[in-house]
Amino acid sequence: MVHTISGASVVVIAVVVWFLGSFITQRVPFLRRYSIPVAVTGGLICSLVVMAVYYVFGITVEFDTELRDLLLLIFFSTIGLSAKLGLLKEGGKALAILVAAAAVLLILQNSTGVLLAMAFGAHPGYGLFGGSVSLAGGHGTAIAWGQVAEEAGLVAAAEVGIAFATFGLIAGGMIGGPLAERLIDKNRIENGHGGEDPAARSRPVEPQKKNHLPPLSASLGTLLALALCVEAGDLVNQFLFSRGVTLPGFLTAMMVGIVIANLSEPLGFRLDPVAREQAAEISLQLFLAISLMSMQLWVLTDAVGQILLVLFAQMTLIALFGAWIVFRLMGRDYDAAVIVSGFAGLGMGATPVGIANMNAVTAKYGPSPKAFLVIPLVGAFFLDIVNALVIKTFLGMPFMQVP
């Protein structure tokens, strides 16, 4: 028996799941100490409950993910609307270094995935889905490349990609906070830019209050801009697809947002940053909650051992890479620790997870302007482009040919 939940019910459950995660995080020191995003906590608990319902009552609970896909487009549109080209110059050396580090990580991820796939006796092409296609790329990239791989002869490549992207979402949300906490403790970084003292870490985190709410005109203007990003991005994607160019939908929506952001001031209108940030936070948290609560964990039981082994190897890789390479390159300070938490999210679960990790860390220790400048820029401008080049390079290797 299949029970499908759709429409407003998905929103209601997602919000309840978020509050559940917040409630549990406030009362479980481990989750609070290691800055696990509340949406990850609540969403994972919901997916475990859904799995129990399946095994006990034989009922398959499915969530309509159309809203989740729309939220992803909205979130990346907010990134585009905040990505003015002048910020690239402001990011400067740190941005260039982090892009180079991301390129190296993508190569290492795919090399690890390919070697493990070959060790399991599987086609090495599947290793790319246990690498940067699904982990750094996320669900959108996994689905897009999965369709291409299936057309080339890799059976169920899209399903494999979605499985890795889903578990990577969890892993990225779970290791980013602890990794930053470890770096802060080990290097005795006492606080951030006006953050609280480490002695207060065990206290519940109170939500930060906004000084003001945006006027109705600003909220409606932001809503209009986001709608234009989604609609125009879809038109651009259809145009490119008709000419044989395959890009994830969120990437074209973000590109439209970048265009709007950089034309807004010359055309004489201003997008309210508070309204944009609120839209980004809401879409991000609901996206994560719906993604995690809609996981059908029982479907992956046959391959869960191999999936977890690959994920453990990738988690170890990104933890070592973040601590030994990224943290040192970024200056071994508080900003560097926050950047590492975001970088772990980028590498294991795509940009939304990286932002959620940094939100969790900075809510406790204080803001990190540098981290919130370079991580979104890497995720928004460069990561998907570099990832596509790395993937195509691997696909061109002789051992990748499908018999």
- Domain membership flag for residue 199: no
- Residue 35: which region, alpha, beta or left (left: phi > 0; alpha: psi -120 to 50)? left
Phi, psi of 396 (to 5 degrees): -80, -5
Q: Taking a C-beta distance cutoff of 8 angstroms, is the pair 161, 129 a contact?
A: yes
CA distances (Å), origin 282, targets 351, 355, 366, 380:
15, 12, 20, 18
Q: CA 122 to CA 119: how far, in whole Å?
A: 8
- Residue 270: which region, alpha, beta or left (left: phi > 0; alpha: psi -120 to 50)? beta
- Domain membership flag for residue 205: no
Q: Taking a C-beta distance cutoff of 8 angstroms, is the pair 155, 123 a contact?
A: no
Q: CA 175 to CA 128: how far, in whole Å?
A: 21
Q: Taking a C-beta distance cutoff of 8 angstroms, is the pair 353, 291 a contact?
A: no
Domain span including residue 65: 2-193+215-400
Helices 138-152 and 157-186: angle between axes, nearest 10 degrees: 140
- Domain membership flag for residue 120: yes
- Domain membership flag for residue 209: no
Predicted structure pTM score: 0.69
Q: Give the per-residue pLDDT at 323.
A: 95
Cβ burial of 341 (10 Å; 0-12, 13-18, 19+) is: buried
Q: Give the per-residue pLDDT at 380.
A: 65
Residue among 363, 394, 385, 402 at smallest CA distance from 99: 385
Q: Give the per-residue pLDDT at 205.
A: 40
Is residue 251 helix, strand or coil? helix
- Domain membership flag for residue 307: yes
Residue among 364, 375, 381, 382 at smallest CA distance from 341: 375
Say which CATH number the domain at 151 has.
Answer: 1.20.1530
Q: Give the per-residue pLDDT at 143.
A: 67
Angle formed at CA 398 by CA 397 and CA 400, multiple of 5 degrees: 75
Q: How many domains are contained in the chain?
A: 1
Tens of pLDDT along the chain (403 residues) come to 889 998 899 999 999 999 999 999 888 887 776 567 788 789 889 989 999 999 999 999 999 988 888 988 898 788 788 777 776 676 678 889 999 999 999 999 999 999 999 998 888 989 999 999 999 887 667 766 776 787 778 877 777 887 788 788 778 888 999 999 999 999 888 765 544 444 444 333 444 444 566 788 888 989 999 999 999 999 998 998 888 876 667 778 888 998 998 888 787 778 888 888 889 889 888 987 888 788 777 766 767 788 889 999 999 999 999 999 999 999 999 999 999 999 999 998 767 788 889 988 998 888 888 888 888 878 766 887 788 889 889 988 887 776 5
Cβ burial of 142 (10 Å; 0-12, 13-18, 19+) is: buried
Produce one character per residue of 83-99: b if its CB has 16 or more CB atoms within 10 Å, e if not.
Answer: beeebeeebeebbeebb
- Domain membership flag for residue 204: no
- Domain membership flag for residue 74: yes
